[in-house]
Structure 1
Amino acid sequence: MEKFVVKGQKRSCINDAPKRSPWKRIKPERDTSGDLEEEEDEAAASGEFSDPIPWQKIEAEGLDLDYALLFSKEEADHLFKKLEEEVVYASGEESKVHVFGKLHNIPRKQATYGDAGLTYTYSGVARSACPWTSTLENIRNAVTKTTGQSFNFVLVNRYKDGQDHMGEHRDDERELDPRSPIASVSLGAARDFIFRHRDARGKQSRRQIEPVKLELAHGSLLLMNPPTNTFWYHSLPVRKKILLPRINLTFRRILLDRKK
């Protein structure tokens, strides 16, 4: 992941905004009467998604992606508005990083939500999960219904405009389930998302492998399937002409037996 160290106090998960009644689920709930793991195994064996929508397959050497529009514009607009009301982002010292001994602001806002007791560690920094908000839970359920995959944690990144960005990194932390994809839901301004092979990075790159660039649309879902994060770095570069905000949700599956 990005090489930085976060120092600071424990973050509050409380949103002082008035409580509102839970929003209705976007699509009918998945039938959970059966065993979820058995359903996932069956879906994997069949090679099909649980709730088919028009998918675009994107492949290269060691790269396996699935891309689709999961939400209509009306749904995506509503979800964005609800997340703006509900999500509590890190602030103060926790929103800053140490790079080469100097203190810098993270070039975006971040928040972590998930099942009780979960933490996510990257670059030596552990972030605790706040309890799911109703909207985050609804989005997660829609992703699960569509893909047949279950997720217990989400990292929320908010980009105020095209100046906010994310550097090249891989989501390859040891506590992540290596069999599970990372599901990335984008809401708000469309942004370029760039994949670069680990052997084709920098001036002293060993191989000539073309980068893969996608434009992640409002309401879209991108699945980064194994072994993508082993071989490919991804980034969200600066785009100065983008003036509107974007919220990105990356749903992950953390293995409890790997948490130390």
Structure 2
Amino acid sequence: METFVNKRSCTDNPLTRSQRKKIKLENNERIKQEEDAEEDEDEASTEFSHPVHWQKIEAEGLDCDYALLFSKKEADHFFKLLEEEVVYSTGEEAKVQVFGKVYNIPRKQATYGDAGLTYTYSGVTRSACPWTPTLEYIQDAVTKTTGQTFNFVLINRYKDGQDHMGEHRDDEKELDPLCPIASVSLGAARDFIFRHRDARGKQSCRQIEPVKLELAPGSLLLMNQPTNTYWYHSLPVRKKVLQPRINLTFRRILLNCKKMS
């Protein structure tokens, strides 16, 4: 940025050399501050170049918010980076316990988060690996968009529509009940189904319609309380889906939480 002044002779200018130097320095400092402010504004505008438009999803005891956090191009870029960065669980951590029986998980899983955190569900305790650069970036984007802080993420990778997730609730004792679960989807779009606890199976006692969503690449789904108290959710088999999908569910785990037996 340049400033222009009218040329004047020395006799026309009553200012001493030291005074002129001081004014020049003050002008330069003012210009620098203006340029820095413009750069900060540009960085802020490019950090989230597209506005987030929230869609409210509600039913009896269900409260969710849905939005497109990233563009399709950005989502594809993050998907490729995570394919290189994420190390998925093997061995016992790649299994799940259901009604006392152990099964292989029909998808790949990984857990990342702050140092020392663990998360126990389906009979298996998983430790948090250190955040990767891409996971930190997405975590920061989710935090800035929602105003919530998250210290843990569960990653599920589905190789195609055959990989799936059965009905369950995220209601473990170590999860902060005041913090929503933030689900970010990358890769193939998949159906996501909520089913009320009173309308499940042959013993269902009420007629409550399930809530079905299609989670698009780059989307963010917030599951607010009391959703996980009353509603189960699942990602069913979809044989026509041939592309992989990565889902990141950001959570806030309570430190030093004593589990009830």
Cα shift at 1:95: 1.4
Task: Please give the alpha-carbon distance, in whole angstroms, between the structure 2 residues aligned to 1:205 and 1:26.
Answer: 50
Cα shift at 1:258: 1.2
Q: Which residue of 2 aligns with 1:17?
A: none
Cα shift at 1:92: 2.8
Task: Please give the alpha-carbon distance, in whole angstroms, between the structure 1 residues aligned to 2:206 and 2:56.
Answer: 24
Q: Which residue of 2 aligns with 1:132?
A: 131
Cα shift at 1:28: 3.6
Q: Which residue of 2 aligns with 1:89?
A: 88
Distance 1:84 1:234, change over 3 A: same
Task: Please give the alpha-carbon distance, in whole angstroms, between the structure 2 residues aligned to 1:102 and 1:234.
Answer: 21
Q: Which residue of 2 aligns with 1:146?
A: 145
Query: Is 1:55 matched with 2:54?
Result: yes
Task: Please give the alpha-carbon distance, in whole angstroms, between the structure 2 residues aligned to 1:159 and 1:226.
Answer: 27
Q: Secondary structure at the match of 1:243?
A: coil
More displaced stretch, 96-105 vs 244-253: 96-105
Q: Secondary structure at the match of 2:234?
A: strand
Distance 1:99 1:66, change over 3 A: closer
1:70-126 deviations in whole A, cap 9, x for unaligned?
Answer: 001111111000000000001133313455666532100000000000000113321
Query: Structure 1-normalised TM-score?
Result: 0.79
1:138-190 deviations in whole A, cap 9, x for unaligned?
Answer: 00000000000000000000000000000000000011010100000000000
1:49-87 deviations in whole A, cap 9, x for unaligned?
Answer: xx9621110000000000000001111111000000000
Distance 1:232 1:86, change over 3 A: same
Mapping 1:92-241, distance limit 5 Å: 92-99=91-98, 103-241=102-240
Distance 1:143 1:104, change over 3 A: same
Q: Which residue of 1 aligns with 2:241?
A: 242
Distance 1:26 1:131, change over 3 A: farther
Distance 1:252 1:27, change over 3 A: farther
**Following superposition, which runs of at least 4 residues in structure 1 exceed 4 angstroms of deviation?**
98-103
Task: Please give the alpha-carbon distance, in whole angstroms, between the structure 2 residues aligned to 1:181 and 1:110.
Answer: 21
Distance 1:26 1:235, change over 3 A: farther
Identity of aligned residues (%): 83
Unmatched tracts of structure 1, length 5 or more:
1-24, 30-50
Cα shift at 1:248: 0.1
Cα shift at 1:203: 1.3
Cα shift at 1:192: 0.2
Task: Please give the alpha-carbon distance, in whole angstroms, between the structure 2 residues aligned to 1:137 and 1:172.
Answer: 24
Q: Secondary structure at the match of 1:257?
A: coil
Distance 1:52 1:226, change over 3 A: farther
RMSD between aligned residues: 2.1
Distance 1:60 1:102, change over 3 A: closer
Distance 1:147 1:108, change over 3 A: same
Conserved? CA contact 1:115–1:153, under 8 Å: yes
Instruction: From the two aligned structures, give the one with the greater helix fraction.
Output: 2
Q: More relative contact order in 1 or in 2 (CA 8 Å, sep 6+)?
A: 1
Query: Is 1:254 matched with 2:247?
Result: no
